[in-house]
Structures are given as structure tokens and as C-alpha cells.
């Protein structure tokens, strides 16, 4: 075997063989890589394959671990029965209200704390304190106050979103370069104009990060709240399935959560960032598709 290699290369041939196949293979791979669909879903193929193999080999008993096929059937069934769409609708509605109120409170509050040294001094210790109390740690008292209601769940989501949002906005405003503010002032901008023309867009990357982080926390808090408050929703679906010793439902719920986050990122967050901060060259998003 070892002799063959030197002898072929020793023949002094310009190796016409390895060249063309490589050339044909490369563009094919590159072309695959350029395809958005392939790039988005490609990485999941081996994961699903591995999942399927483990399930087929019956490494774990089916009461603990089910394969993609079973989960897909269950998914189909839940959709047909209308349970999944209804629960999903409930979860998204709660998330929507939570995020809406969270942003309505967090964005102005963040800018007030960021812009006023006084407000910062007064509120910073409070911010730190309340940020440290985990969202779910509020659930017991929230349930006492609001019962097992939409209000209780919304409260927890608002709570989780407000603090990271405020803290990112404060650091975002601090990161607006001093010279850019000075440039605006020396071009004739007044204090209000500096805020609307410089501070707001300048802090946008941080606001976007804050919304992303806040949404992620909010989404997790929602599921946790639904598991505990539990009347409907994706979190409730998972918890209810577990109670019924039905692992498949839990799997469905987990996948739905992942897919939803993916969709939210691809349909809302990423396009917004592409059109603003990325267009302006302020940051490059980590997202592969561009």
C-alpha cells in the first residue's frame, strides 16, 4: 500500500483524475451551503437521525423515550383534535401581552434611568435587587394575588422582560460614543434632538439585544408559569401529558417550543436587526442566513 502512493506521484503525471471530481464535488457542496433551507434545517438532520436510531434500537423503554414517528403522529392527532392550536394560541396570546406590557414599561423606564443620573442613583440598587428574584419565585405570591389567571402569567412575563431590557438600555446608552453626541450638539441639535436623533438610534443595538434576551426569558417564564398555574398552553400540555404518563405529549411540547423560538427569531427579530443595526454597520448578527 505504501509503495503505491510514491509510485503514482513519482510517475510525474499532472494528476488529471483527482482534480475534476474535486471540482465537481466542491461546487455542489458550496451550492448546498448557499441554500437557505439547507442551511437552516440541515443541522437538524443528523440530530433527528440519531434520535430515530436510538428509538429504533429501543435503548430505553417506550414509556420514557419515543421516536420521531410516534411524536409526529401525536402531533398530527393534537392538531386534528384542535388541542395544540388552541393551547398554542393561548401561550402566544400570553406571551404577546406580556411582551407588549413589558416593553411599554421597560423601554421608557430604561431610557429614563439611562438619561438621568439621579434616576440611576435612586433605582440602580432596586434594579439589581429585583432582577435577582427569579421570575418563578414570584409565582407563589402572584397566584395568591391574582389566582390562576391570565393576569398572573402576564405579570410574571412582564417582570422577566422589564429588568433585562432596562439594564441593556442603560448600557446601550452608555455605549453611544461621546463624540457622536458632541457632533450632534455642535451641528445645532438641542437636548431633545440629541435624544431622538442620536441616543435612540445609537442605543438600538442594545435595545435589540435586550428585547432578544427579555423575550427568551419571557418565553421560558411563560412555560414555567403555565406548568404551575396550568389551565391551558404549551407548558400545561407538557405537564398534563406527564401526569397522564404520556411521554409523547412532552416531546411534542418541547419541539413546539424550539420551533416557535426559531420562527420568532427568523420572522421578527432577525429581519428587524437586518434592516436597522446591521444595515448601519453597527453590528453583524450571528445568524447564518445573509
Residues that bind other proteins (CB under 8 A): 177, 179-180, 182-190, 193, 197-198, 201-202, 204, 276, 279-282
- Measured distance CA(111)–CA(93) in Å, rounded: 27
- Measured distance CA(207)–CA(271) in Å, rounded: 15
CB closer to other proteins out of 89 and 271: 271
Q: Quick one: angle between helices 247-264 and 83-115, nearest 10? A: 40
CB closer to other proteins out of 36 and 284: 284
Least CB distance to other proteins at residue 124 (A): 20
CB closer to other proteins out of 67 and 202: 202
* CB 110 within 8 Å of CB 170: yes
Least CB distance to other proteins at residue 173 (A): 15
Least CB distance to other proteins at residue 179 (A): 4
Q: How far separated are the first and last CA of the chain, in Å rounded? A: 46
CB closer to other proteins out of 190 and 271: 190
Least CB distance to other proteins at residue 137 (A): 39
Give the three cell numbers for residue 219.
418565553
CB closer to other proteins out of 46 and 281: 281
> What are the Cα distances from residue 2, in Å, to 8, 17, 171, 211?
11, 20, 62, 60
- Measured distance CA(102)–CA(269) in Å, rounded: 16
Interior angle at CA 230, CA 229 and CA 232, nearest 5: 135
Least CB distance to other proteins at residue 283 (A): 10
* CB 87 within 8 Å of CB 233: yes
Least CB distance to other proteins at residue 114 (A): 18
CB closer to other proteins out of 25 and 280: 280
Amino acid at each position: 500500500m505504501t509503495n503505491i502512493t510514491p509510485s503514482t506521484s513519482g510517475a510525474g503525471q499532472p494528476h488529471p483524475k483527482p482534480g475534476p471530481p474535486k471540482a465537481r464535488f466542491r461546487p455542489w457542496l458550496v451550492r448546498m451551503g448557499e441554500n437557505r433551507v439547507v442551511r437552516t434545517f440541515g443541522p437538524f438532520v443528523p440530530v433527528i437521525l440519531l434520535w430515530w436510531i436510538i428509538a429504533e434500537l429501543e435503548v430505553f423503554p417506550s414509556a420514557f423515550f419515543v421516536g420521531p414517528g410516534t411524536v409526529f403522529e401525536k402531533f398530527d392527532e393534537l392538531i386534528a383534535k384542535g388541542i395544540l392550536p388552541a393551547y398554542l394560541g393561548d401561550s402566544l396570546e400570553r406571551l404577546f401581552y406580556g411582551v407588549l406590557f413589558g416593553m411599554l414599561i421597560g423601554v421608557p423606564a430604561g431610557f429614563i434611568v439611562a438619561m438621568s443620573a439621579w434616576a440611576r442613583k435612586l433605582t440602580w440598587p432596586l434594579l439589581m435587587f429585583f432582577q435577582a428574584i427569579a421570575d418563578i419565585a414570584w409565582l407563589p405570591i402572584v397566584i395568591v394575588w391574582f389566582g390562576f389567571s391570565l393576569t398572573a402569567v402576564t405579570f410574571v412575563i412582564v417582570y422577566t422582560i422589564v429588568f433585562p431590557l432596562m439594564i441593556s438600555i442603560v448600557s446601550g446608552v452608555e455605549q453611544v460614543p461621546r463624540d457622536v453626541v458632541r457632533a450632534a450638539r455642535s451641528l445645532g441639535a438641542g437636548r431633545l434632538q440629541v435624544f431622538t436623533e442620536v441616543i435612540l438610534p445609537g442605543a438600538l443595538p442594545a435595545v435589540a439585544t435586550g428585547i432578544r434576551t427579555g423575550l427568551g426569558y419571557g418565553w421560558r417564564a411563560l412555560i414555567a408559569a403555565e406548568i404551575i398555574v396550568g389551565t391551558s398552553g404549551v407548558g400545561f400540555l407538557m405537564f398534563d401529558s406527564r401526569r397522564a404518563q404520556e411521554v409523547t405529549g412532552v416531546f411534542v411540547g418541547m419541539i413546539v417550543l424550539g420551533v416557535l423560538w426559531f420562527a420568532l427569531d427568523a420572522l421578527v427579530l432577525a429581519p428587524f436587526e437586518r434592516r436597522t443595526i446591521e444595515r448601519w454597520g453597527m453590528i453583524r448578527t450571528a445568524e447564518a442566513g445573509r
